[in-house]
């Protein structure tokens, strides 16, 4: 999704888009990949030691992203939506406080994704892999792209706009 189309959209529309197009998709991706990374580690781990690290990295990312989604959907997004409907300083201050807490607790997901990309040779399955191996790496690549787009929309558009609003 092009970031510049969101620069003037109402906050509530951005929040709804993130939940519908990123959070829901992410939940499905994480469930599927949890099973798949475990399967290929069991089947191919003897020949491909790196699959143990792929499994560990993925599951750490999964934990980070599940917490990320829950924090946003229960704490940050409701405040932003309320502020979007009723733009008063009290709601803006609460939203900014929650965003700042979120930013302080920001995890290392981007770093973990970078390591995952490297260890999987840019998500390229080896020649001796099976269809499940190939599919797992395809889905890991999609997950990586989804998370990066998702974080960019949140951090560089939505949260940035909210934080800048206090300065105005």
pLDDT of residue 23: 96
Q: What domain count does the chain have?
A: 1
Expressed as residue numbers, the domain containing 16 is 9-167
Task: Flag whether 54 is in a domain.
Answer: yes
Task: Flag whether 3 is in a domain.
Answer: no
Q: What b/e string do you get for 79-101 counting C-beta neighbours within 10 Å, with b at 16 or more?
A: bbbbbbeeeeeebbebbbebbee
The pLDDT of 95-124, averaged and rounded, is 93
At 136-166, the pLDDT tens digits run 999 999 999 999 999 999 999 999 999 998 7
Compute the Cα dihedral for 158, 167, 106, 74 and give only its sign.
negative
* Per-residue confidence band for 168, with pLDDT thresholds at 50, 70 and 90: low
Task: Flag whether 38 is in a domain.
Answer: yes
Task: Flag whether 4 is in a domain.
Answer: no
Q: Residues 6 or more apart from 162 whose CB is under 8 A from it?
A: 11, 80, 83, 92, 95, 96, 99
Task: Flag whether 93 is in a domain.
Answer: yes
**Contact present, 156 and 92 (Cβ < 8 Å):** no
Distances, alpha carbon 53 to alpha carbons 38, 59, 92, in Å: 11, 10, 42
pLDDT of residue 49: 98
* Per-residue confidence band for 2, with pLDDT thresholds at 50, 70 and 90: low
Task: Flag whether 2 is in a domain.
Answer: no
Task: Flag whether 157 is in a domain.
Answer: yes
Task: Flag whether 1 is in a domain.
Answer: no
Distance spanning both ends of the chain, measured CA to CA:
27
- d(CA 155, CA 150) in angstroms, rounded, equals 9
The overall average pLDDT reported for the chain is 94
Compute the Cα dihedral for 111, 114, 118, 119 and give only its sign.
positive
Burial classification of residue 8, based on how many CB atoms lie within 10 Å of its CB (0-12 exposed, 13-18 middle, 19 or more buried) = exposed
Residue that is written with structure tokens 């970031």 in the block = 3
């Amino acid at each position: 999704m092009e970031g510049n189309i969101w620069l003037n959209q109402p906050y509530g529309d951005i929040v709804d888009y993130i939940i519908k197009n990123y959070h829901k998709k992410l939940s499905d991706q994480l469930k599927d990949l949890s099973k798949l990374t475990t399967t290929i580690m069991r089947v191919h781990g003897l020949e491909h030691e790196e699959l143990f690290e792929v499994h560990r990295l993925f599951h750490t990312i999964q934990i980070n992203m599940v917490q990320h989604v829950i924090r946003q959907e229960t704490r940050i997004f409701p405040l932003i939506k309320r502020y979007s409907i009723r733009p008063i300083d009290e709601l803006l201050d609460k939203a900014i406080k929650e965003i700042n807490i979120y930013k302080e607790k920001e995890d290392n997901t981007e770093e973990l994704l970078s390591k995952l990309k490297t260890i999987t040779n840019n998500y390229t399955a080896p020649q001796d892999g099976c269809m499940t191996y190939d599919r797992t790496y395809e889905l890991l690549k999609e997950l990586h792209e989804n998370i990066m787009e998702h974080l960019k929309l949140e951090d560089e558009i939505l949260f940035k706009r909210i934080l800048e609003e206090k300065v105005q």
